[in-house]
Structure formats: structure tokens, C-alpha cells
Amino acid sequence: MLMMLRPFVLTPLLLLCLTDFASGDANDGGRSDGATSTTSGSYRLDWSRVDGHANQLRISQQDGVVTFLTQGNDPFFRFQLPPLEAAERDWMLELEYFCPDGIRGIQWRSGPGIHRPNATALPNLPSAEGWTKYAFSINEFAPEAIGSEVEVPVRIDWGTRPNIQLQVRSVLVRPINDAEMKQRRDAAEIRLKKTTLAERINNYQTRRWPAEIESVTLDAAQLRVAGTFSEPASIDGAFLIARHAESVSADPPTDKELARRWPVSIDPSGKRFNAVIASPAGSPWLDAGVRLQLVGQHDAAASPVSAARYRDWVHRQDAPASDSLAAAKGLTCITSRFTPDQLRELGIRHASVNILVSGLVSETERPGWQTIDVNGRTWWLNESRLRQQDRDIRTISDAGAVVAGILLIPTSSNARSPIAHPESTDAGTYAMPNLTEPESVARYSAALHVLGQRYSGADPKHGRVDHWIVHNEVDYGWQWTNMGQQPIEVFMDHYIRSMRLVDAATRSLNPNARVFISLTHRWNTTDNQHWKTYAPKVMLQRLIRDSRVEGDFPWGVAYHPYPQSLWKADFWNDTQVSDDFDTRLITIKNLQVLDRFMHLDSSRTADGRVRPVICSEQGFHADERDEDQLRTQAAALLLTWEKLRECPSILAFDYHRPSDHPNEGGLRLGLRGLPNDQHPLGPKKPGWDVFSAIGTEREAELIREYQSVWEGQQE
């Protein structure tokens, strides 16, 4: 995801040049710009002037950011590592980087023989569409570099692919910190616990339960539950318990959960059971995220005999429908700098905005904050922040377009948000919410309730949100929805509980509200980072299974079908795609694969409806100074909408972004250039005119003008 990059702030540390390369023996690695020692016992490295000692690399520097562009299949550079004494703590090399393509096959050579064949493979640089951290232990990967009394020459090879652009900043050699030390000491125990939990979740979802809760319906102030036993019940008795949002269904119920129970009636055949539970307003049975589970009594022991089940989704025929959408034109990053008239002129019928969930509510009084009651509890509300959000949302609503809100929890290296997951790290731009204990769930739920109520459409002055995108690019969770390192089973269990909390908070107030899972184009990738990134196809299959096991709810897919290289708009030349469900990527070129997947019987809702797709973020790079790139961007837009119209599951396509942004690592995805004094929205690119014409009579004329681009550029 590119729209939410953190602003770059220069550190006060000067990148001083301590030593220079000397022309001389190739074996000594030369002399590079050296390291600046810091008060913390660390060294800040300067890689800005190593271009004279590099191979097949174009290197440039601006504002503390070093850009490497590979120009062959053997790109490497050399620098001097400061003397690192052997100590109790490992030495770490850490940097921040931006590289949408990622780099595999990184190698490290150090010492006098840095040009000899023997090398150490470093961890890959994963694809990063925003600034993220990369660190490894020098002691582990290059122990020969430790304990020297003089500088050590080092050579780093940036893989074997040409035309890869890597941006680097804040290169640091430092002792391993306390958090990393603790993580290392606890790693084995943590891995075992997580692996065990993952196995338990898999067993829970795939086992054949003795009983099944078939329906959980709310009728006035009564909750009605009905279900069946696969065999006549052979238990002493059965009762229902509530599993709350902070609870993992696959875990054994706690004593507290078992203490609050509701008996069920079993019919004479022993095959059916039912219960009627009084559920007045404020009843804990009706809390967001609650699901019911049947527990059987065997002598003195009690254990679950069914999967847990959420309340049934009832499609309301009388609900005031939002605009019917099909391949609608949309935009990301819409703010009140646009006017509703401008959006109408563009033909915008859908748009997405970022909504920061953290910092909206507080359990303690804050100066200037207003009080609000949620489920009988008083919270303090950040009304000034919401009024700012209102302006953006109302701009879109007033233009007659449907709004999608992207729910985000920023990470911070200073202090974790109280609603951020306790294992989240600042390696990610955003965090998973904390659904591990009741207080954090209450805080998160209160914020969601505020948003659901405010943007339900009941009050036009706030605007209306119908589509709720739950966090961002969760398959690339390490960067965009960070929860620490987790098996996919654990990550998805937590994420789906968050989706269901958003669903409960929004659809109860706006029957048209729908939640969406946010995914990148990495459909069936196998080169995932262990417990950090996951394949979207597998995530969707798990979401489908959860909907079948614990009760359906109306979710959709917010997909980001960028080209395989963000630097190349000619998606028709993508090579890592195929026309089947095992394709590595889904880009615009093979978007029909995603549409076919959504039309599978297994992918549909319980009542047979096709779940909707929003292409909620995707843009085409075009530097406004490059005529060929501008023309390719314009052609890509036209061909995109031809593809979209062949995919009936796709409601809308939100183009990213209206204007270029200076902090997207050099990418120029906007329909307009960088904003300036003369052009506050940025000068128009040809793509702006093409985008305006899509869906009008002018579109056919422009297709004739531009179709030679995709026909002539096919490789």
C-alpha cells in the first residue's frame, strides 16, 4: 500500500565521512565512506559515496536517502565496516529501505578475500511499498567480521536482477537491543506455543463435531438457538456459553466462560436441541464479537461439542440501498481539497479514505474531548479529529459517490497505541488491533461504534460510509497490518475476529454496510516470509471456511491488482500471471481469475450471492517528464476498464492516486503531477483526461488513439 507512507524526518546525526577509498589492492575492498560513532555505542554508516567502488550499480543520494539502481546481473558495492569488538551482545546491521520489487539472493563477503567466490547469503529484502526496517545479526551471518581491531572491508551483492531500484536510509551497526535479546531467548518457547495454537485452530475448523448450531437469530428481545446432533445425544446435559471477542474459539473455554451458561432443550429423539435466551438491550449475549458454543456435560466434566456460532446474517429487503455499482470509477486519497463538482466531472462513483481508529476514544477524560455512552459505558471522544474526517467523507458523499473507509492503526517507535496488538512492531506501518483481553476489545469496539454510528448516513452533515476495508494488505501483514510473527492460522483467526467486530458495529446501524478484506496482487505466491507474509488465495480460503464453520456474514474483497512491477504500467506484459487459480499473481492482465474465484459456489454467501470485489488501490507509474510513460499510463487506464467490465463481481476500481506524492519512493502513480504553487492539485497528465473520458462517449475515440500502445508493446 502506498498512500500511507510515513513522512521522512532527517535525524540530527551527521553522516560524516571518516575515511575515503584509496585506489589500490582489489583484495582490501578499498576504502569507503566510514562510520560515525554515536553516543549509544552504535555506528551510523554512510553509503552515499560508494559509487566509485561499485559494480553494475547507479548510485545517487538526496536528503539522506541513497538510491541504488541495478544495471546488470552482478550488482555489488564495497564499504568499510568499523572495528567491532567481540562482546556478549551480537552486532546488528539495520537499515530502512523502500523497494517495491524486493531483492532475493543478497550476498555478504567480508575480509581480505571479498572478491573470492565464498559468500554468505543474507535474508532477502522483501518487497516493500513503504519504508520498512531490515536487520540481521552480523555475528550470525558474518562472524569473521567480529573482533577485528581495524576496519573490515565488506562487499554486498544486491541480487542478480537488473533494473531493480532500492532506496536506503538510516544504515546503522548497533548492538542487539533488549527487545531482540528477549525475543531470541524466548523464541523457541514462543514458536512452540504458536505452532500448538495453529494446530488447535486447524483441528477446530476441520473436525467433525458431535453437534452443530444451525441458527442463532435475534427475535425482539429473545435470542433463539437451534441445532442438531450427528448421533443421538449421549451426554448428561448440554448448555450454551458465550465466547467473546478476546477469545480464540479453538482454545478451551475459561472457567469464567463456563460459569455463565444457558441450558438447552434436547428433543426426545436426542437429535435436535434448542434454546430461547432472554436478551434485553445491554445483555452480554449481544456484545459485538460474541458467538455461542454448545458444551456437553459428561459426569463432572464439561467440554465443547460444537463449533462456536455467531448470530445469523439476515438480508433486509427493505434496507435503503446504496448506489448500484459495476466497474465504477473511483479514487483513493480524496480529501476536501477536491470539491464535489470536481468529482462529479470526473465521473467518480466510489472513493476510499483512510480512517485512523487509534486516538478516537479514551477511557479517561481528555481536555476538549466530549463524552459518549457506548453499551452503558462512558468514553471520551476526539470530536475535532472526527470533524476533520467528516470533511473528506462528506466531499465524496455530496458528489453522490459511495465511500470506503480504510481502518488503520498506526505503529510508533515511541509508544504503542493502546488498541495495537501487543506483539506489533514498528517494522510495520500499521498494526493489527489488540483482541487479546477485554479492555482493549472494549476500547476498539467503542471506536468502531462511534464510526459506524457517525457514518451510517443518518446525519448528512457527517457523510456516509458503506464499505469498510478492515486494515490494509493483510497478506503483507508484517508491513501493513503488523501483529508480530504469527502462523497464518493464528493471524487469520485474530483478523477475522476484527472483521466481525467491524461488521457488528457498522451493519447494525447501516444495513448496507459491508466489510472487505484487503489483499495485494500476490495471489498464490510461495516465497512468503516465514510467519510474516501469506498468500491471499490461502487467506480467502480460510475466511470462507470460517464463514462456513462459525456463521456467514457479508464480507467482500478489496484487492490491489498492481502490475507485477510497480515501475512498469504495461501490465499486458506481466509474465508472472496465468489464467488459473494457481497463478502466482493476479494483476489487471488476469483479473478474470479473481472474478471466477468469487463466482465459485464455495465462495458465495450462504444464500448464494456472489461476494463483491473492490479494486481499492492500484495505480500506473508515469513520470510527467517521460512521454512514453505518460502514454503507457493513459493506455493502461483504458485497457483496465475493458477488463473490469468483463468481471461482474467487481463493484469499483479506486485509482491510486489523483496526484503524485513526493514520499512514494520515486513512484509517480498520480493522474496529475506533483502539486506546486501554480497547480495545487498538480499539473494534469494525459491520464487525467483519459480517466475523465472513461464511461463517456469519448472513451471509444480514445481507445482508437491508444490501443496501438498495448498492441504494439506486447512482448
Q: What is the pLDDT of residues 487-536, one digit of tens each?
A: 999 999 999 999 999 999 999 899 999 999 999 999 999 988 889 999 99
pLDDT above 60 for 410:
yes
Residues 572-614 have pLDDT tens digits of 999 999 999 999 999 999 999 999 999 999 999 999 999 999 9
Q: What is the average per-residue pLDDT within 448-469?
A: 95
Q: How far apart are CA 155 and CA 32, in angstroms?
A: 11
227 and 214 Cβ atoms separated by less than 8 Å: yes
Name the percent of the chain in helix, strand, coil, to the closest 5: 25, 25, 45
Please report which confidence band the pLDDT of residue 6 belongs to, taking 50, 70 and 90 as the band edges: very low
Secondary structure (3-state) at 56: coil
pLDDT higher for 436 or 286? 436
Question: Residues, the chain, total?
Answer: 715
pLDDT above 70 for 114:
no
Q: How far apart are CA 467 and CA 532, in angstroms?
A: 27
pLDDT at residue 24 in the model:
32
**Mean pLDDT score across all residues of the chain:** 89
pLDDT at residue 713 in the model:
66
431 and 493 Cβ atoms separated by less than 8 Å: no
Q: What is the CB neighbour count within 10 angstroms for residue 696?
A: 11
Q: What is the CB neighbour count within 10 angstroms for residue 212?
A: 16
Q: How far apart are CA 181 and CA 356, in angstroms?
A: 32
User: Residue type at 633?
Assistant: Q
Q: How far apart are CA 164 and CA 666, in angstroms?
A: 13
Cell of 317: 429487503
Q: Among 224-233, 304-313, 528-537, whose mean pLDDT is lowest?
A: 224-233
CATH 2.60.40 domain position(s) in the chain: 208-304
pLDDT at residue 9 in the model:
28
Nearest to 302 by CA among 333, 260, 338: 260
Please report which confidence band the pLDDT of residue 15 belongs to, taking 50, 70 and 90 as the band edges: very low
pLDDT above 50 for 17:
no
Nearest to 198 by CA among 494, 477, 424, 487: 487
User: Buried (b) or exposed (e) across 621-643, using 16+ Cβ within 10 A?
Assistant: bbbbeeeebbbbbbbbbbbbbeb
Cell of 69: 539502481
Nearest to 375 by CA among 396, 394, 390, 361: 361
Q: Which residues contact 333 (CB under 8 A, 6 or more apart)?
A: 3, 353, 656, 657, 658
Residues 338-367 have pLDDT tens digits of 899 999 999 999 999 999 999 999 999 999
DSSP states of 696-708 = STHHHHHHHHHHH
CATH: 1.10.3470, 3.30.70, 3.40.720, 2.60.40. Which one for 208-304? Answer: 2.60.40
For residue 608, is it left (φ>0), alpha (ψ between -120 and 50) or beta?
left
Residue whose grid cell is 517495491: 100
Q: How far apart are CA 653 and CA 331, in angstroms?
A: 8
pLDDT at residue 322 in the model:
55
Cell of 121: 547469503
Nearest to 171 by CA among 83, 121, 97: 97
Give percent above pLDDT 90 in the chain: 73
Pairing of strands 370-374, 377-381: antiparallel
Pairing of strands 350-356, 328-331: parallel
Nearest to 339 by CA among 404, 405, 394, 389: 394
Residues 359-400 have pLDDT tens digits of 999 999 999 899 999 888 999 999 999 999 999 999 999 999
* CATH 3.40.640.10 holds for 26-176: no
DSSP states of 589-609 = GGTHHHHHHHHSGGGS-TTSP
Residues 466-492 have pLDDT tens digits of 999 999 999 999 999 999 999 999 999
Please report which confidence band the pLDDT of residue 220 belongs to, taking 50, 70 and 90 as the band edges: confident
Q: How far apart are CA 466 and CA 328, in angstroms?
A: 15
The DSSP element (H or E) to which 544 belongs, if any, is helix 536-550
pLDDT above 60 for 336:
yes
pLDDT above 90 for 699:
yes
pLDDT at residue 315 in the model:
60
Cell of 549: 464453520
pLDDT above 70 for 320:
no
422 and 474 Cβ atoms separated by less than 8 Å: no
Q: Angle formed by the axes of helices 686-693 and 627-644, to 10°? A: 20
Cell of 382: 476526539
Residues 547-567 have pLDDT tens digits of 999 999 999 999 999 999 999
Q: How far apart are CA 45 and CA 35, in angstroms?
A: 4
584 and 523 Cβ atoms separated by less than 8 Å: yes
249 and 204 Cβ atoms separated by less than 8 Å: yes
Q: Which residues contact 162 (CB under 8 A, 6 or more apart)?
A: 56, 70, 71, 72, 73, 75
In Å, how far are 584, 587, 592, 611, 642 from 595, measured between CA atoms? Answer: 16, 12, 5, 10, 14
Residues 149-183 have pLDDT tens digits of 999 999 999 999 999 999 999 999 999 998 888 87
Q: Angle formed by the axes of helices 536-550 and 178-206, to 10°? A: 50
CATH 2.60.120.260 domain position(s) in the chain: 26-176
Q: What is the CB neighbour count within 10 angstroms for residue 334?
A: 24
